[in-house]
Structure 1
């Protein structure tokens, strides 16, 4: 398929920023499910609450969970976009600052936050957790194994993949060997052969990102046009087939993994960032938004259900649950950006740690693209 000309570097960077922002919205929706919370104990398997459940479940559990696979693919692509063995030490060093340090900092932040919050009566009732132990063993479990910040399983897996990058690159730099390897990983997913560190599905997404960086830049970085649109439509159709198959009883887990594989690729190919203009600073929060969104979503949902449940019930509460769910990304992005701006201005060192050294002006691309 003829792809035509490729994006200019500036256009490529803007496209990455736009896609990262769209995936971030999906991540927020992935953790925004509130039907059971807003129903006040009413079953979500009947009546209007069943409709609420189906809407939110589709957006959160189906679409929302495709975001992290997209992050894996983008991370790999940018790591290997113009890779050479001489650049490896510098790239590893960069990832220590942009991935490992934020991982440790955010996990420590969540742990200490839970320790404090579960000892404040008013906050304790909102969180609904018993007092969290404060000792060395619990601290290590929290910081090293994301025990109190489950969303950071992504960075945990990404760190293993970054360490494995030289081996993966050696395998995939040969096109035939790379295709065989991708097929083998898909077979491992089918047979439930989980490698754990990293997970087999994460290995598939990351490896495909490497493959496209090495062998598929003509398609990946093609300017928006007929060729890219057709490729995107093809990926949408494949995602639809996978979604249909994964909904059948006893469906193979590979259908789920491949649905989460094809959908972010479709977003990359079909989204015309050139028509959207330059991304704004509030759209470039990247890792900071990923880190803080889980707290904000839980606070907004629990506070909303607690306050509104006192004055509304039945159909009104069900409708509001959907509206609340749909508007949560806007509220979370705005709140996160306000916090980011405060840190940038008054505590820049703290901002650099929690954002991985990223800038609101350059966003994700500051650390993730290669240095010329």
Structure 2
């Protein structure tokens, strides 16, 4: 194993840039508003092909899907750089930066949902989302038993995006074992074979899932082996992968709207995984000019400080707001595509503005709810 290197100034900017962009893209993915709006790699839209359905599916379940793997790679790489600090100290810090914000924002989402259910309009929104449905007869948080509320708070947040920091916390706890697995001469082949299979199978449970396990571990491996993150190797040229990225995402989208046939889900799954990999390569190695331009603007750098606020605030707000809007504008042409574009932008602006005001006037609270980020 070679000597660990420090992060260059430009790569530090790239990590910050892609963390911010990934959070922004996440809002648009969760703003997907077709009839079947729970997206899996193999999801079939269940409605005819149109400009709106193609655009939303192509973006939300195609071009934008590299964002979570990107965040896991960044997290693994950065965590692996801190080996000079004691394990106990690092895990203790993770309680503050991950576990506390997870519990706080999960509770806030439940409180918001509970309050909305007191109002007729709000109750209809909650029912329409079916997000709180727990069985065939109970669709509201008010109908939960206390232990079901507790389970929602800890394991199945109404802020559904929080699954990322939940599993990230446990990967951080397991870091010594993961580091050994990805750097040991023999173990790394066995481990990555398992991790790739888990990712391809889209395995997911409460504490461990395939996507995070593979890409967090990949980030550790890249840092520990001094993998060249500055220049692409022969097989990582972004120009070629850009063609794969765009072309296959279009093919996957069109396939999703074709009449169903045996094996369509497996084809969509394979296309999805290749699109994710190609998207990562294109973004990291092909986006340097964009990174330099954006991170050269002081106002953009200031916005990146609120990545976490965008992450924790946007859901379930984007889902509730979408259902509320649709109750009023569903008779206007193009209302779904307009909502898909405009609503996430509004929520991103709101999250940044709220974060700015909270940081300025209540910095102690801001520090707690963000785990000390963006100060």
TM-score (norm 1): 0.78
Q: Give 1:79's aligned residue.
A: 79
Q: Confirm or deny that 1:337 pairs with 2:352.
A: yes
Q: Give 1:274's aligned residue.
A: 292
Q: Give 1:365's aligned residue.
A: none
- For residues 97 and 172 of structure 1, what CA distance do their matches in structure 2 show? 27
- Which of 135, 144, 158 matches 1:148? 158
Q: Give 2:172's aligned residue.
A: 162
Shift of 1:176: 5.7
Shift of 1:263: 1.8
Greater percentage in helix: 1
- For residues 148 and 203 of structure 2, what CA distance do their matches in structure 1 show? 30
Q: Give 1:186's aligned residue.
A: 196
SS at match of 1:251: helix
The answer to which of 92-101 and 145-154 deviates more is 145-154
Contact 2:198 2:209 in 1 (8 A): no
Shift of 1:259: 3.3
Shift of 1:111: 1.1
- Which of 317, 332, 336 matches 1:321? 336
- For residues 8 and 202 of structure 1, what CA distance do their matches in structure 2 show? 22
Closer, same or farther: CA 24–195 of 1 in aligned 2, 3 Å: closer
Shift of 1:169: 0.3
Structure 1 residues not aligned, in runs of 5+: 1-5, 38-42, 361-372
Shift of 1:77: 0.9
Structure 2 residues not aligned, in runs of 5+: 37-44, 129-138, 256-262
SS at match of 1:294: coil
SS at match of 1:266: helix
Shift of 1:192: 7.3
- For residues 70 and 322 of structure 1, what CA distance do their matches in structure 2 show? 26
Q: Give 2:133's aligned residue.
A: none
- For residues 175 and 232 of structure 2, what CA distance do their matches in structure 1 show? 33
The answer to which of 71-80 and 270-279 deviates more is 270-279
Q: Give 1:249's aligned residue.
A: 264
Work out the number of aligned pairs and report it: 337
Shift of 1:104: 0.7
Q: Give 2:258's aligned residue.
A: none
The answer to which of 230-239 and 149-158 deviates more is 230-239
Q: Confirm or deny that 1:215 pairs with 2:225.
A: yes
- For residues 269 and 73 of structure 1, what CA distance do their matches in structure 2 show? 14
SS at match of 2:192: helix
Q: Confirm or deny that 1:112 pairs with 2:101.
A: no
SS at match of 2:158: coil
TM-score (norm 2): 0.78
Shift of 1:289: 1.0
**Alpha carbon RMSD of aligned pairs, Å?**
3.2
- For residues 191 and 325 of structure 1, what CA distance do their matches in structure 2 show? 29
Shift of 1:191: 6.4
Q: Give 2:131's aligned residue.
A: none
Contact 2:155 2:206 in 1 (8 A): no
The answer to which of 15-24 and 320-329 deviates more is 320-329
Q: Confirm or deny that 1:138 pairs with 2:153.
A: no
Within 5 Å, which residues of 2 pair with 1:262-301?
Answer: 262-272=278-288, 273-276=291-294, 277-278=296-297, 279-301=300-322
Closer, same or farther: CA 255–178 of 1 in aligned 2, 3 Å: farther
